[in-house]
Amino acid sequence: MEYEFTFVVDGVDVEDDALVCALFDSLDAMLVRTAGRHFVTLSAEGPGAIRAAQTAVAALATVAPAMRVIRLDRDLVGIADIAERTKRTRQNVTQWAHGARHSKQPFPLPDGVVGCSRVWLWSEVNTWLRTIDLGDPIELPSREEMAAIDYALAFPRQDLGLTLELHIAADEHERERHEVARRLMAKAVAHAGRISDDDVYGGGPILVVCAVCSDSLAWVMSQLPLGGKLAVVAVSVGDDGDVWELGLSAVPLPGSVPLEQAGLDCHASVGDLVRAHSSGRLDRQTVLEM
């Protein structure tokens, strides 16, 4: 599948005509400068947005070695922007946002407020627009995929080619799982940085399961792809909603602790795992061996 990305970049200058032409000719990429910052937009293919972003960043490094890819641009839009992109009136868009039209498909929640105006994440608006046959066909990364991509850019593991994949189950706890993913946006997944051997995780992505306390550990491990060895459980803990990242492995790892040694059994839940860490039976950095 082909995805489109707009990255915030540094180390390049839009006045460099040779670079601008090279990016366009080689990658069909567009380099622009807006409000003093440089942005590059390009498309890349992959089985998912995270893998496609990895391909895009690698391609940029080949054409523009001096370019530093900082993060994804969130492409926040207001009522006027949405109206312009859909060729509808502002009144139409306001009705969508207020639920006065197409209320069977709730409009996305605003991402924030700028001045007195609400702004939305364009990728979420575009997904909603597709439900009424007005969406752009271009595939864009979801909020959760953006978080994982930004993490990989902020904490690169180029020697490992490390990639994170967020898993959010579509069930009765989906809203809670999305909230866990949202809180992860500003955090680093501690266990991912502890893995230093291709044989440990098979050279593939680290699976981050956005969980609730009632999830069973067996279910979490069942989300691993064939041959997967490591999962990170992300779960909201306490009244303040702090997100813990707890490691589970399908094979023995250096420093990992077997399930039984932690006082747990095959029927244990994520909540049981949290209590094991809270009680001091397990260190937060310890990976539990299933």
Residues 123 and 174 placed together within one structural domain of the fold: no
Residues 112 and 44 placed together within one structural domain of the fold: no
236 C-beta neighbours (distance < 10 Å), count: 19
Domain of 8, CATH number, reads: 3.30.70
This prediction has a pTM of 0.59
Residues 81 and 58 placed together within one structural domain of the fold: no
Residues 66 and 125 placed together within one structural domain of the fold: no
Residues in the chain, pLDDT under 50: 157-162, 186, 188-203
pLDDT of residue 161: 43
Residues 196 and 243 placed together within one structural domain of the fold: yes
pLDDT of residue 31: 97
Residues 49 and 83 placed together within one structural domain of the fold: no
Q: Confirm if 120 and 130 have CB atoms less than 8 A apart.
A: no
Q: Which of 72, 97, 117 delimits the end of a domain?
A: 72
Question: Residue length, the chain?
Answer: 290
pLDDT digit string, tens, across residues 175-226: 888 888 877 754 544 344 443 444 334 445 678 889 999 999 999 988 877 6
Q: Which of 95, 159, 144 is nearest to 243 (CA)?
A: 144
Distance in angstroms (rounded) separating the CA atoms of residues 157 and 160: 5
Q: Which of 39, 56, 72 delimits the end of a domain?
A: 72
Report the DSSP pairing between strands 68-72 and 2-10: antiparallel
Residues 28 and 85 placed together within one structural domain of the fold: no
Residues 48 and 109 placed together within one structural domain of the fold: no
Q: 122: domain range?
A: 76-130
